[in-house]
Amino acid sequence: MSSTEEETLMILPKKKFKILNLFWIILFVVGLVVSTKVTKTSLGALFANFSQFADIFLQMLHPNWSYLGAVIPLILETIKMAILGTVIGSILAFVYSLLIARNIVKNKAVTGILRVIMNIIRTVPDLLLGAIFVAIVGIGPVAGILALAICTFGIVVKLFYEAIETIDPGPIEALTAVGANKLQIIVFAVLPQVMTYFISYCLYAFEINVRASTVLGYIGAGGIGLYLQETLQVFDYPKTGTIIIAIILVVVLIDYVSSKSREALMK
């Protein structure tokens, strides 16, 4: 008995990587020390102010529920911004993706230029976009919607054009042979193969937009972020707590519904 046990133990391959793990830990610690030195951050301050942090946190844990009446309309505005931004951005991304997919547009110059433009748009962060649009169209939700639309565009266009480029080329060939024109080929051979992906990517962008839209108000681009900034400025942490809890609830709920829908789509 014991000998066979020993044998199986001997067969069992030894767990490797122990040394590697140690290496990662050392690298992490060294990295932390070096980076605080270089950026002149004081790790001590983080702990010294801990009591203050705990105090704020405690205040937030006692939210001011009477404030909820003021929060809800703005939460709704935030969601509306996210929806509109998603819809506008997705429509733009839909058309643009078809123009940069190399199995649809054969002209490499056209797709190349449009892709460079796409990549430039994709590098601009959402808060910067918000600030730019506040400067252009003024304070309010329109700026937020435009910023979210561009963000959505950036997310959806990349995923969607890549999905288009990986479709089965057979139906395109068949439709070409039947005498279909470009648009008919897209409608009958391309879209049936990628529409579920497109919807899934839009939902994914929507999830990101709901989160992003909650902070856009901070820079005056509409939505709940405005109150977040106001209450923080006057140190009214119970109200801040109310807002944060409301945001978390909405984000979790929308994330859940959206990701379940995406799962159902991909079945």
Partner 1 sequence: MADSAVKPVIELKNVKKVYGKDVVGLKDINLTINKGEFVVIVGLSGAGKSTLLRSINRLIDITEGDILINGESITKAKGKELRMLRRNIGMIFQSFNLVKRSSVLRNVLTGRVGYYPTWKSTLNLFTKEDKQRAYDALQQVDLADKVYTRADELSGGQQQRVAIARVLTQDPDIILADEPTASLDPQTSRRVMQDLKMLNEKHGMTVVINLHSVELAQEFGKRVIGVRAGEIIYDGKMSETPKETFDQIYSGGDQDE
Verify binding: residue 267, partner 1, rule CB under 8 A: no
Verify binding: residue 140, partner 1, rule CB under 8 A: no
Verify binding: residue 173, partner 1, rule CB under 8 A: yes
Verify binding: residue 168, partner 1, rule CB under 8 A: yes
Q: Is the dihedral of CA 31, 32, 37, 41 positive or negative?
A: positive
Q: Which residue has the tokens 């405005």?
A: 226
Q: In Å, how far from its chain's centre is CA 55? A: 31
User: What is the total count of residues that contact partner 1 (CB under 8 A)?
Assistant: 19
Residue 119 CA to residue 123 CA, distance in Å, equals 6
Scanning 94-102, 118-126, 135-143, 178-186 for contacts with partner 1 by CB under 8 A, the matching segment is: 178-186
Contact 246, 68 (CB under 8 A): yes
Beta carbon nearer to partner 1, 165 or 236: 165
Verify binding: residue 174, partner 1, rule CB under 8 A: yes
Contact string 183-202 vs partner 1 (x = CB under 8 A): xx--xxx--xx---------
Scanning 49-57, 109-117, 165-173, 198-206 for contacts with partner 1 by CB under 8 A, the matching segment is: 165-173
Verify binding: residue 170, partner 1, rule CB under 8 A: yes
Among 176, 229, 259, 261, binds partner 1 (CB under 8 A): 176
Verify binding: residue 112, partner 1, rule CB under 8 A: no
Query: What interhelical angle do 141-165 and 126-137 show, nearest 10?
Result: 130
Q: Which uninterrupted H or E stretch holds 159?
A: helix 141-165
CB of 136 to partner 1, least distance (A): 36
Question: What own/partner pairs with CB < 8 Å and gap ≥ 24 does 20-27 have?
Answer: none
What six digits make up the tokens of 260? Answer: 């379940």
What six digits make up the tokens of 6? Answer: 């020993």
Q: Which residues sit at the interface with partner 1, rule CB under 8 A? A: 168, 170-171, 173-181, 183-184, 187-189, 192-193
